[in-house]
Amino acid sequence: MRWLRFHPRAKKLGFNQSYISKIETGQVDISVILLKQLAKCYKKDVGWFL
């Protein structure tokens, strides 16, 4: 999800740079709720992120 860091919608969801970096490197697991929020924000199906 390296594209997440550069996308302005990531900030809209309240992600800071440190958290985005941890998501990208697999240091944190994201919840189903967060996955659904990402899908809605980016207008993608949840499966697109998997």
Rounded Cα distance, 39 and 26, in Å: 18
pLDDT in tens, 5-19: 556 766 777 877 778
- The per-residue pLDDT for 14 is 80
Residue 10 burial (CB count, 10 A):
21
CA separation, residue 17 to residues 2, 4, 11 (Å): 11, 10, 9
* CB-based burial, 18-35: b 16+ in 10 Å, e otherwise: ebbeebeeeeeeeeeeee
Q: Would you kindly state where each structural domain of the chain is located, as residue ranges?
A: 3-45
pLDDT in tens, 30-42: 889 988 988 888 7
- In the 8-state DSSP scheme, what is residue 2? T
- The per-residue pLDDT for 37 is 84
- The per-residue pLDDT for 4 is 61
